[in-house]
Amino acid sequence: MRFPDDFVFGGATAAYQCEGASKEDGKGRILWDGFLEREGRFSPDPACDFYHRYPEDLRLAQEYGINGIRVSIAWSRIFPAGSGAVEPRGVRFYHDLFAECRRRGVEPFVTLHHFDTPEDLQNDGGWLNPSNVDAFVEYARFCFEEYPEVRYWITINEPTSMSEQQYVSGTFPPGEKNNFGKAIAAEHAMNLAHARVVNAYEELGLPGEIGVVHALQTVYPYDPDKPGDVHAAALLDAFENRFYLDGTLAGEYSPETLALLGEICEANGQPMVEVSDDERAVLAKAASRLDFVGINYYFSKFEREYHGKSEVIHNGTGAKGSSVNRLQGIGEERLRPGIETTDWDWPIYPQGLYDQLMRLGTEYHARKVYITENGIGLKESLRPGETTIDDQKRIGYISEHLAEALRAIESGVDVRGYFAWSLMDMFSWTNGYNKRYGLFYVDFDTQERHPKASASWFRRVAQTKALS
Ligand code: BGP
């Protein structure tokens, strides 16, 4: 079994995690700037200095057989305040970046929002404020008209991670905890923002393609024979996966999904978002037009019945075994015996990718699917005299997940590409710089790049279109 000839073997990045230069060329502040300053743990600068070194990264991409790259536009480089005045230096930067991608034969898949809402808009409520959604549509339209060289657009990256970490776990700014009602309202707002942007793209009659990227963690009951565990898994699945898939792919929220989310809100004494008929029409129209869906898959979850208060401990240091995840009105994550985890407690479960791809294909009738992120975070360092990292663990992880992608293709799901997270080592939102994902090692002191063993292995797969 081989990958199709036109399969995209890509590497993924995101503006705030790779560009650095967060105060350069008129870039406006975003929600993370103040949050990171207050926390004092990490700086987003210089990250891996992609803002200045992208020609080198694209040269390496070409050399290592990588024919696609996920990049995101930093909204606040274009509109420093989120809306209104345009910053020409930011506009220019992305023209130059896309031209370099083209020159190197690396197709850019361009995300409009990758966790980086401009600060002023977030201070006014972020996605929960309808004027934020209006500003996002204005920014998207601007980009569609300004960058005809882009063929693949992604509206929003991982609305799940954004809303849940903003309002439930509190690990993303503004750092609120246990507000499920607010998280669900933000989920709905992002579904709507996405849909309005897809509809605007359609109105402009542009020749490219547009999609959305979801973080889809497959949720299994810890004990499939226990009804309490089965229900806990259904609640978490509705909250983290179904509400988005219903909203963006099916174009309507199913009564089951709404009932499960209503149950979560009730258990937490919080109001459940209301959906108007006009909003339903916007969602339905966009879903009928959506060209592709991207899935970011890293792990699965095993959920147990739980009736206590929420307790979330985030493992942001790589201290294995330190994370706790119990959500009031939902359930508790518990690792099934025999499943390996990373140092950051992410269960390694490649079959979850297959199951999720099959759901996209059979239940949601997704047209085209890209695996827009997959990879493993490892603690790595180059010792003096060494020039490469022998990351066999990463090769094993990616290989097992690619095998599941092949299996899904064989079962009839139209998977068009795979983007390794990440192209090179970069900044991780809640973990800083010791969680490395790259195919290319970055020495953050000198900014030198060193291809890892996984880069050479990935090139072989891309060239032969087969897993050996
Ligand atoms: C996804 C994000 C990426 C990236 C990745 C790895 O959720 O889209 O931006 O960060 O996960 O996550 P982390 O950096 O938390 O390990």
- Which ligand 1 atom sits nearest the alpha carbon of residue 421? 5
Q: Report the CATH fold assignment for 8-464.
A: TIM Barrel (3.20.20)
Of 19, 279, 373, 404, which is the active-site residue? Answer: 373
Contact, 202 vs 145, CB < 8 A? no
CA 240 to chain centroid: 13
- Report CA(340)–ligand 1 centroid distance (Å): 19
Of 87, 107, 119, 158, which is the active-site residue? Answer: 158
pLDDT score at 384: 86
pLDDT score at 250: 98
Question: Which sign, positive or negative, has the C-alpha torsion 250, 253, 254, 260?
Answer: positive
The answer, yes or no, to whether any atom of ligand 1 lies below 6 A from the CB of 215, is yes
- Give domain limits for the chain: 8-464
The answer, yes or no, to whether any atom of ligand 1 lies below 6 A from the CB of 171, is no
The answer, yes or no, to whether any atom of ligand 1 lies below 6 A from the CB of 165, is no
- Report CA(206)–ligand 1 centroid distance (Å): 30
- Which ligand 1 atom sits nearest the alpha carbon of residue 158? 8
Nearest residue by C-alpha to atom 10 in ligand 1:
428
pLDDT in tens, the chain (468 residues): 899 999 999 999 999 999 999 999 999 999 999 999 999 999 999 999 999 999 999 999 999 999 999 999 999 999 999 999 999 999 999 999 999 999 999 999 999 999 999 999 999 999 999 999 999 999 999 999 999 999 999 999 999 999 999 999 999 999 999 999 999 999 999 999 999 999 999 999 999 999 999 999 999 999 999 999 999 999 999 999 999 999 999 999 999 999 999 999 999 999 999 999 999 999 999 999 999 999 999 999 999 999 999 999 999 999 999 999 999 999 999 999 999 999 999 999 999 999 999 999 999 999 999 999 999 999 999 988 899 999 999 999 999 999 999 999 999 999 999 999 999 999 999 999 999 999 999 999 999 999 999 999 999 999 999 997
The whole-model pTM stands at: 0.98
The answer, yes or no, to whether any atom of ligand 1 lies below 6 A from the CB of 377, is yes
The answer, yes or no, to whether any atom of ligand 1 lies below 6 A from the CB of 425, is no
Ligand 1 pocket test, candidate residues 158, 341, 370, 421, most atoms within 8 A of CB: 421
pLDDT score at 468: 77
The answer, yes or no, to whether any atom of ligand 1 lies below 6 A from the CB of 342, is no
The answer, yes or no, to whether any atom of ligand 1 lies below 6 A from the CB of 32, is no
- Report CA(429)–ligand 1 centroid distance (Å): 7
Reported as a single tens digit per residue, the pLDDT across 444-461 is 999 999 999 999 999 999
Long-range contacts of 98-105 (CB under 8 A, 24+ apart): 98/147, 98/149, 98/150, 99/149, 100/54, 100/55, 100/58, 101/58, 101/69, 101/71, 102/149, 103/58, 104/58, 104/59, 104/61, 104/62, 105/62, 105/67
The answer, yes or no, to whether any atom of ligand 1 lies below 6 A from the CB of 421, is yes
pLDDT score at 1: 84
Contact, 415 vs 353, CB < 8 A? no
- Report CA(403)–ligand 1 centroid distance (Å): 22
Per the annotation, the verdict on 373 as an active-site residue is yes
- Report CA(229)–ligand 1 centroid distance (Å): 28
The C-alpha atoms of residue 146 and residue 143 are separated, in whole angstroms, by 5
- Which ligand 1 atom sits nearest the alpha carbon of residue 115? 9
- Which ligand 1 atom sits nearest the alpha carbon of residue 161? 7
Characterize the bridge pairing of strands 218-221 and 300-304.
Answer: parallel
The answer, yes or no, to whether any atom of ligand 1 lies below 6 A from the CB of 374, is no
